[in-house]
């Protein structure tokens, strides 16, 4: 029965694509594709919920009807990620129905045909049980998202960013494919079940190579430093709902792939694998948030913040691998649960923030926070949900971000049981630093965008947004709150999931502790809040802000995003290394200049030290290879002749 429903779900996504071609925007039926998508996604959510919460598994195998192995298996892990995908797609669909109203007819059609396919490809990735299905979904994700990015314009700059995105995603896909292919001599077929069986018989060196390739391949897709180069470029130029899907959901499919391979298919990790993942996670988390702090365009900032959260997830995964390698299954389960929970939390609050930025863009046509301000009074619904999103991403208690960070801290603290003892607990400092930097970054974002005075006419005349947008954001904010106050809702099923991936695990006591405590703390805070509100008076006389006795404050006298982050940027100067140019006109006139121009350009060091040299090397190598193409036909015949001779020689001497 549930198999049938799953097929219906997939078919519905396919059908809503087709439906988009028969409807036009501003025509009577233009709400049909969004509605259809919403319904199919809710169906998917129900199916995934059933698989994740109750453990029933869906097996679908189409291999007999097709020339290659193609099938779906939705077990608890797939169900969790499918739940994540559909759970995010629902508000995104609701939001997009109004967001796409201003698109041209062609753009609208493309949008509503590609988005369901995009969601379908992601569902295919997490539900695949064969390598072919997985890779098909994987590549489709890249292509479809590239197409969706180009809907909003294909200027030279955008095309270049999309090109970088496609190249890096293909490189990652190649690494992933190679990982799977390496199982081949030992696995009888390219299906996950066969690979799982064969994994125990693989020689150690091969296992290491498989792990490293999968780490690089999935890491490239997830955005691990130094392979994160494409992320800010691609996520910043996509339409906001698509950015939400890419950042909140697509990155998690890479996490799913890594977990599936490292914990399920491969198993029995070695300690240094875990430490490698851990180090990569730390670097990603700290560097990601430092770059986010320096950004002032909303979507690029959110993209870098996604990098930071992926870093946190990888930290938890690394800790889980280390514990598993040292045969501490309960602690490994704890860390794995922390990683999975953080994946879901990040999907929720990052999706919320990206949709919020989409609403801001619709309302003010700008995403530069230096031109915004005072939006809370103009867009109250968006403002409140955005505040909850900012608070959640900073890890404040009573919201979901805190619970997963608390679990990460606890698992790191347990690391004092290993040798060398202080190694893992020291990382608590690094995670705390990343978390506090995130708090500072999002205080800047919210304070400069929504509070204070509007810094430009666009912000001052912000148009109100349709109610659907408010509603979709509100739903996600409520989800963040609910998961923060009662995390036990998800922690219990997550434990059942972790128990499947880590053998011999027992329920970690931390889960029960946090599930019991958060509702208590919430109640205590509620009671104290009531007490505090009785002590103060809510009303108050409105006066002008204190301006040191001057006639009045203008909006330019407020702190901007750049000035807010300046002290922190100067402390972490070694990371940023901006190229600065200061021009004073006329030269030499320091007291009464006619004009002063200041320019500060930040290129991330990775671009200078890693990517440029790599690209230059490839181009140089290609240039050398070009010399083989002399254009002379006899030279080409000579190449063929030489190849035949050498093959004969090889055959003779082997």
Least CB distance to other proteins at residue 280 (A) = 20
Minimum Å gap between C-beta 524 and other proteins is 5
- To the nearest whole angstrom, how small is the minimum distance from the Cβ of residue 237 to other proteins? 28
* DSSP state letter for 419: S
Tokens of 265: 């298919």
Tell me the closest approach of the beta carbon of residue 496 to other proteins, in angstroms.
22
Q: What whole-number distance in Å separates Cα of residue 490 and Cα of residue 209?
A: 35
**Taking the complex as a whole, how short is the minimal distance between the CB of residue 569 and other proteins, in angstroms?**
10
Nearer to other proteins, 551 or 567 (CB): 567
Minimum CB distance to other proteins smaller for 433 or for 584: 433
The full DSSP string for 463-478 is PPPPHHHHHHHHHHHH
| Closer by beta carbon to other proteins, 213 or else 293 | 293
Of the two residues 524 and 645, which places its CB atom closer to other proteins in the complex?
524
Of the two residues 196 and 326, which places its CB atom closer to other proteins in the complex? 326
Residue 182 structure tokens:
């390496």
- Contact call for residues 382 and 473 (beta carbons, < 8 A): yes
> 28: helix, coil or strand?
coil
Question: 8 or 568: whose CB is closer to other proteins?
Answer: 568
Q: Are 631 and 639 in contact (CB under 8 A)?
A: no
CB 330, min distance to other proteins, A:
14
Closest to other proteins by CB, 181 vs 568, is 568
Q: Residue 156: exposed, middle, or buried by beta-carbon count in 10 A (0-12, 13-18, 19+)?
A: exposed
Residue 265 · residue 272 · CB < 8 Å? no
Judged by CB, which is closer to other proteins: 173, or 448? 448
Task: Please report how close the Cβ of residue 494 comes to other proteins at its closest, in angstroms.
Answer: 17
Cβ-proximal residues to 261 (8 Å cutoff; 6+ apart), any chain? 179, 210, 211, 214, 218
Q: Which is nearer to other proteins, 294 or 391 (CB)?
A: 391
Q: CA–CA separation, 439 vs 430, rounded Å?
A: 14
Tokens linked to 528:
């104290």
Give min distance, CB of 439 to other proteins, in A: 6
Query: What phi, psi does 297 have (nearest 5°)?
Result: -100, 130
What is the spatial distance between Cα 127 and Cα 501, in angstroms, rounded to a whole number?
A: 16
Q: Which is closer to other proteins, CB of 24 or CB of 413?
A: 413
Tokens of 403: 């619970």
SS3 label, residue 274 = helix
Min. distance of Cβ 170 from other proteins in angstroms? Answer: 38
**Rounded Cα gap, residues 323 and 263, in angstroms:** 12
Task: Please state whether 550 falls in left (phi above 0), alpha (psi between -120 and 50) or beta.
Answer: beta
Least distance in angstroms from the C-beta of 422 to other proteins: 5
Spatial distance between the Cα atoms of 212 and 218, rounded to a whole number of angstroms: 10
Nearer to other proteins, 542 or 626 (CB): 542
Beta carbon nearer to other proteins, 104 or 377? 377
Residues 6+ apart with CB under 8 A from 470: 381, 382, 385
CB-nearer residue toward other proteins: 180 or 442 = 442
Tokens of residue 119, six digits? 């969601």
Least distance CB 589 / other proteins (angstroms):
28
Q: What are phi and psi of 462, to 5 degrees?
A: -60, 130
- Residue 444 CA neighbour count, 13 Å, CB half: 29
Q: How many CB atoms lie within 10 A of CB 551?
A: 7
For 40-104, strand residue ranges (E) read 58-61, 71-74
CA atoms within 13 A on the CB side of 365: 7
Nearest-approach distance from CB 42 to other proteins, in angstroms: 33
Kindly report the CA angle at 395 between 234 and 462, in degrees rounded to 5?
55
Write down the least CB distance from residue 486 to other proteins, Å: 16
Give just the sign of the alpha carbon dihedral 266, 120, 249, 137.
positive
Question: E strand or H helix at 74, and its extent?
Answer: strand 71-74
Min dist CB 535 to other proteins, Å, is 6
Strands (DSSP E) found in 243-375:
none
Rg (alpha carbons) of the chain, rounded to whole number: 26
**Whole-angstrom distance, CA of residue 261 vs CA of residue 265:** 5
> Which among 336, 339, 344 is positioned nearest to 400, based on CA atoms?
344
CB 536 to other proteins: min, Å:
4
Residue with tokens 């009577």: 28
For residue 220, the surrounding DSSP H or E stretch is helix 204-222
The residue among 122, 117, 110 whose CA lies nearest residue 83 is 122
Closest separation in Å from C-beta 61 to other proteins: 45
Nearer to other proteins, 288 or 374 (CB): 374
Q: Of the two residues 307 and 445, which places its CB atom closer to other proteins in the complex?
A: 445
Q: Strand, coil or helix: what is 385?
A: helix
Q: Which is nearer to other proteins, 55 or 439 (CB)?
A: 439
């Amino acid at each position: 029965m549930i198999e049938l429903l799953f097929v219906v779900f997939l078919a519905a996504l396919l059908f809503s694509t087709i439906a988009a071609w028969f409807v036009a925007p501003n025509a009577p039926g233009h709400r049909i594709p969004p509605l259809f998508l919403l319904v199919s996604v809710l169906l998917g959510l129900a199916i995934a919920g059933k698989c994740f919460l109750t453990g029933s598994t869906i097996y679908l195998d189409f291999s007999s009807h097709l020339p290659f192995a193609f099938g779906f298996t939705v077990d608890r892990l797939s169900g969790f990620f499918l739940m994540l995908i559909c759970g995010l797609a629902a508000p995104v669909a609701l939001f997009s129905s109004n967001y796409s109203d201003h698109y041209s007819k062609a753009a609208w059609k493309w949008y509503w045909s590609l988005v369901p396919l995009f969601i379908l490809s992601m569902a295919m990735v997490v539900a695949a049980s064969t390598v072919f299905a997985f890779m098909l979904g994987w590549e489709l994700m890249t292509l479809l998202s590239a197409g969706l990015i180009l809907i909003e314009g294909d200027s030279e700059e955008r095309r270049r960013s999309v090109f970088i995105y496609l190249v890096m995603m293909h490189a990652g896909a190649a690494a992933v494919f190679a990982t799977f292919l390496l199982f081949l001599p030992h696995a009888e077929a390219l299906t996950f079940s066969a690979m799982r069986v064969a994994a125990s018989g693989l020689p150690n060196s091969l296992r290491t190579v498989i792990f490293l390739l999968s780490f690089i391949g999935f890491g490239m897709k997830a955005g691990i430093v130094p392979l994160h180069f494409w992320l800010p470029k691609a996520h910043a130029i996509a339409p906001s709902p698509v950015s939400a899907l890419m950042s909140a959901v697509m990155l998690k499919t890479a996490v799913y792939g890594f977990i599936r391979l490292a914990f399920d298919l491969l198993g029995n990790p070695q300690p240094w694998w875990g430490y490698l993942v851990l180090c990569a996670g730390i670097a990603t988390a700290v560097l990601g948030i430092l770059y986010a702090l320096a950004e002032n365009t909303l979507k690029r900032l959110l993209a870098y913040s996604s990098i930071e959260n992926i870093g946190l997830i990888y930290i938890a995964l690394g800790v889980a691998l280390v514990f598993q390698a040292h045969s501490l299954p309960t602690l490994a389960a704890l860390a794995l649960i922390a990683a999975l929970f953080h994946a879901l939390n990040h999907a929720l609050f990052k999706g919320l923030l990206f949709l919020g930025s989409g609403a801001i863009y619709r309302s003010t046509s700008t995403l530069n926070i230096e031109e915004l301000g005072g939006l809370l009074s103009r867009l109250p619904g968006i403002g409140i949900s955005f505040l909850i999103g900012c608070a959640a991403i900073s890890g404040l208690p009573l919201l979901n971000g805190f619970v997963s960070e608390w679990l990460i801290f606890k698992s790191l603290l347990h690391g004092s049981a290993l040798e060398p003892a202080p190694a893992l607990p020291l990382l608590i400092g690094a995670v705390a630093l990343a978390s506090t930097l995130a708090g500072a970054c999002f205080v800047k974002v919210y304070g400069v965008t929504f509070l204070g005075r509007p810094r430009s006419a666009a912000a001052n005349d912000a148009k109100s947004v349709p109610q659907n947008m408010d509603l979709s954001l509100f739903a996600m904010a409520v989800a963040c709150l609910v998961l923060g106050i009662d995390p036990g809702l998800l922690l219990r099923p997550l434990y059942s999931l972790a128990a499947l991936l880590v053998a011999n695990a027992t329920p970690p006591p931390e889960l029960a502790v946090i599930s019991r405590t958060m509702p208590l703390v919430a109640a205590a805070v509620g009671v104290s809040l009531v007490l505090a509100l009785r002590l103060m008076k809510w009303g108050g006389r409105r006066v002008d802000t204190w301006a040191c006795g001057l006639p009045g404050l203008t909006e330019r006298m407020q702190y901007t995003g750049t000035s807010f982050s300046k002290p922190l940027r100067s402390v972490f100067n070694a990371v940023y290394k901006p190229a600065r140019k200061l021009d004073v006109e006329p030269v030499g006139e320091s007291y009464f200049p006619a004009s002063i121009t200041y320019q500060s350009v930040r290129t991330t060091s990775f671009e200078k030290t890693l990517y440029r040299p790599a690209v230059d090397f490839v181009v140089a190598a290609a240039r050398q290879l070009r010399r083989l193409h002399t254009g002379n036909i006899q030279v080409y015949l000579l190449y063929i002749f030489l190849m035949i001779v050498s093959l004969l020689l090889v055959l003779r001497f082997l």
